[in-house]
């Protein structure tokens, strides 16, 4: 009798044993982990595509604004990109920013140069002075615009002007817009204190190249 009951118990295969469950979990983890990574990747791709779309819109609006400007020509300057609160009608419409204009001199410069102030001794086209936040000249000129807020992202932008035609009468400026995503790094001190990295011009997102002529 005891042998028959025990045999019945041994032959009962319903349910999962603990071993099976553990093995199943291990297999699930090994196979699913890389698959779940896809979700993370998708989220990152969406994030980047939103940034690119925002940067594209910023560059588009800026380029259209520059194209609409009338450059006064001989001895004339055009004030653009002025700071928040100062002559707001001269700022690029639809986007908010703080403009920190810098004269990037005759070279592409590095990030450290962006902190220099414009000097009025920089002579450009036809001997004109280059003024703060203005555009003229036939040398490399860059204007840096900081803290652009658009589409819940933060950007920076450098706008380069290079005269392609040095005629005294009619001239064309190449305009190059470089839009950067704000650096989101965090610096960690020895004591573990985290500080958002405040350096500007992190990841270069897009570059748009256009031209504008005096009218």
Partner 1 sequence: MKKTNKLIHNNRGAALITIMIAVAFVSILASAILYLSFSNYQMKVANYQSKVNFYGTEKDMTTVSTTLRNTLASNISDPLTALKNDVGYTSVAGIERYDTTKLAQLVYPSASSSTVASGDTTVVFSTTITDTNVSNFVIEGGGNDHKVTLKGVQIQHTDTQGFEHQITTDIVFNVHKSSGTPDAGGVGEFSVMTDNKITVDANGSNTRVVMYGNVFIGPGTYKYESGVINPSGVDALVLKGDSIFTQKGDHMIIFGNIVLEDTSVFNVSGGKLTVLGDIIVGPNATFVSSGEVFFPSNAKVIPSSHVPGDLTYGFKGTTANVVPKTLVDATNPTVQYLTDANYTSILTTLGLNDATDDGLISKILTSDFKKLMSGEEGVIANNGIDGAAKSAKTTYYGVDYYNLWFCEEEMNGNKASNALVLNGAAASLQDGGNLHSTIISVKDITITNSKNMILSQVGGDVFNILTAKSTTDYPGYSTDTHTVQIKAGNGDYKDGKDVKVGDAFQTTANQTANSLIGYASNGNNGVEQIDTSVGYTNWNKR
Question: Looking at beta carbons only, is 2 or 13 nearer to partner 1?
Answer: 13
Site residues for partner 1, 28-67, by CB under 8 A, read 28, 31-32, 35-36, 38-39, 41-43, 45-46, 48-50, 52-53, 55-56, 59-60, 63, 67
Residues 170 and 214 sit within 8 Å (Cβ to Cβ): yes
Q: Determine which residue in the list 65, 174, 183, 202 makes contact with partner 1, applying CB under 8 A.
A: 174
Least Å from the CB of residue 119 to partner 1: 23
Q: Which stretch binds partner 1 (CB under 8 A): 97-105, 121-129, 153-161, 201-209?
A: 201-209
**Strands, DSSP E only, in 38-191?**
96-99, 141-150, 153-163, 172-181, 186-188
Q: Two tokens at 32?
A: 């699913």
Residues 61 and 95 sit within 8 Å (Cβ to Cβ): yes
Residues 115 and 102 sit within 8 Å (Cβ to Cβ): yes
Pairing of strands 203-213, 172-181: antiparallel
Binding flag, residue 74, partner 1 (CB under 8 A): no
Tell me the HSE value of 26 on the side-chain side, using a 13 A CA sphere: 6
Binding flag, residue 165, partner 1 (CB under 8 A): yes
Q: Determine which residue in the list 68, 107, 152, 169 makes contact with partner 1, applying CB under 8 A.
A: 169
Scan for tokens 């319903």, then name that residue.
14
| Interacting residues toward partner 1 by CB under 8 A | 13-14, 16, 20-21, 23-24, 27-28, 31-32, 35-36, 38-39, 41-43, 45-46, 48-50, 52-53, 55-56, 59-60, 63, 67, 164-165, 167, 169-172, 174, 206-213
């Amino acid at each position: 009798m005891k042998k028959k009951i025990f045999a019945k118990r041994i032959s009962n295969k319903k349910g999962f044993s603990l071993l099976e469950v553990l093995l199943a979990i291990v297999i699930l983890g090994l196979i699913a982990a890389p698959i779940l990574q896809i979700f993370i990747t998708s989220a990152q791709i969406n994030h980047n595509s939103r940034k690119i779309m925002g940067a594209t819109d910023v560059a588009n609006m800026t380029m259209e604004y520059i194209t609409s400007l009338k450059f006064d020509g001989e001895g004339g300057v055009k004030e653009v990109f002025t700071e928040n609160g100062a002559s707001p009608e001269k700022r690029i419409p639809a986007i908010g920013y703080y403009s920190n204009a810098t004269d990037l001199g005759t070279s592409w410069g590095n990030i450290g140069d962006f902190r220099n102030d414009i000097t009025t001794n920089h002579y450009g086209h036809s001997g004109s002075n280059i003024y703060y936040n203005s555009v003229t000249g036939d040398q490399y000129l860059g204007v840096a615009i900081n803290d652009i807020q658009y589409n819940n992202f933060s950007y920076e932008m450098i706008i380069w002007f290079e005269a392609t035609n040095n005629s005294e009468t009619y001239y064309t400026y190449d305009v190059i817009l470089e839009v950067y995503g704000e650096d989101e790094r965090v610096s960690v001190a020895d004591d573990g204190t985290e500080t958002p990295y405040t350096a500007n011009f992190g990841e270069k997102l897009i570059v748009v190249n256009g031209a504008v002529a005096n009218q």
